Amino acid sequence: MQSRRAGNMLAAFSFILWGILPLYYQYLPQANTNELLALRLIFSVPVMLIVMVLLRQPIPAIKDILADKKSLAMCGFAGVIMSVSWYAFTWAITHGEVLAASLGYFINPLFAIALAMFFLKETLSKAQIIAVILAILGIGYQVWQYGQLPWLSLVMGSFFAVYGLTKKYIKYDALTSVTIEAAILTPFALIYMIWLYFSGDSVALTSGTTTFLLYAGAAPVTVAPLIFFALALNRTSLTMVGLMQYIEPSLQFLLAIFLFGEVFDQTKAISFGLIWLGLIFCTVEALPAMFRHKKAILPSH
Model confidence at 23, in pLDDT bands (50, 70, 90)?
very high
Q: Which helix (H) or strand (E) holds 154?
A: helix 151-167
- Mean pLDDT of all residues in 277-284: 81
Give the pLDDT confidence score for residue 149 in this predicted structure. Answer: 76
Q: Give the model's pLDDT for residue 281.
A: 83
Q: What is the pLDDT of residue 78?
A: 94
Q: What angle do CA 14, 16, 249 make, to 5 degrees?
A: 110
pLDDT band at 301 (very low <50, low <70, confident <90, very high): very low
DSSP state of 189: H
* Domain encompassing residue 38: 2-297
Which of these, 93, 109, 94, lies nearest to 252 by C-alpha position?
93
| Residue 294 banded pLDDT, cuts 50, 70, 90 | very low
Using a 10 angstrom Cβ sphere, with 0-12 exposed, 13-18 middle and 19 or more buried, the burial of residue 125 is: middle
Number of structural domains, the chain? 1
Query: Which residues have CB under 8 Å from 301's CB, separation 6+?
Result: none
Can you give the pLDDT at residue 295?
Answer: 44
* First-to-last C-alpha distance (Å) of the chain: 20
More confident residue, 103 or 287: 103
| Number of separate helices (H) and strands (E) present in the chain | 14, 0
| Mean of pLDDT values over 238-257 | 79
- pLDDT at residue 168, rounded to an integer: 84
What mean pLDDT is predicted for residues 268-277? Answer: 88
Per-residue pLDDT averaged across 223-233, rounded? 80
Q: How confident is the model at residue 286 (pLDDT cuts 50, 70, 90)?
A: low
Residue 124 pLDDT: 75
90 contact partners, CB below 8 Å, separation of at least 6: 25, 31, 33, 36, 37, 218
Q: What is the pTM of this model?
A: 0.80
- Separation CA 265–CA 253 (nearest Å): 13
- One-letter amino acid at 150 equals P
- Residue partners of 291: CB distance under 8 A and separation at least 6: none
pLDDT digit string, tens, across residues 112-142: 878 888 887 777 778 878 888 888 888 888 8
Q: Residue 297's pLDDT is what?
A: 38
pLDDT value at 296 more than 50: no
Cβ(270)–Cβ(40) below 8 Å: no
pLDDT band at 187 (very low <50, low <70, confident <90, very high): very high
Least confident piece of the model among 58-67, 122-131, 180-189, 217-226: 122-131
262/98 Cα distance (integer angstroms): 8
> What pLDDT is recorded for position 68?
92
Position 195 confidence tier, pLDDT thresholds 50, 70, 90: very high
> What is the average per-residue pLDDT within 202-216?
91
CB of 246 closer than 8 Å to CB of 76: no
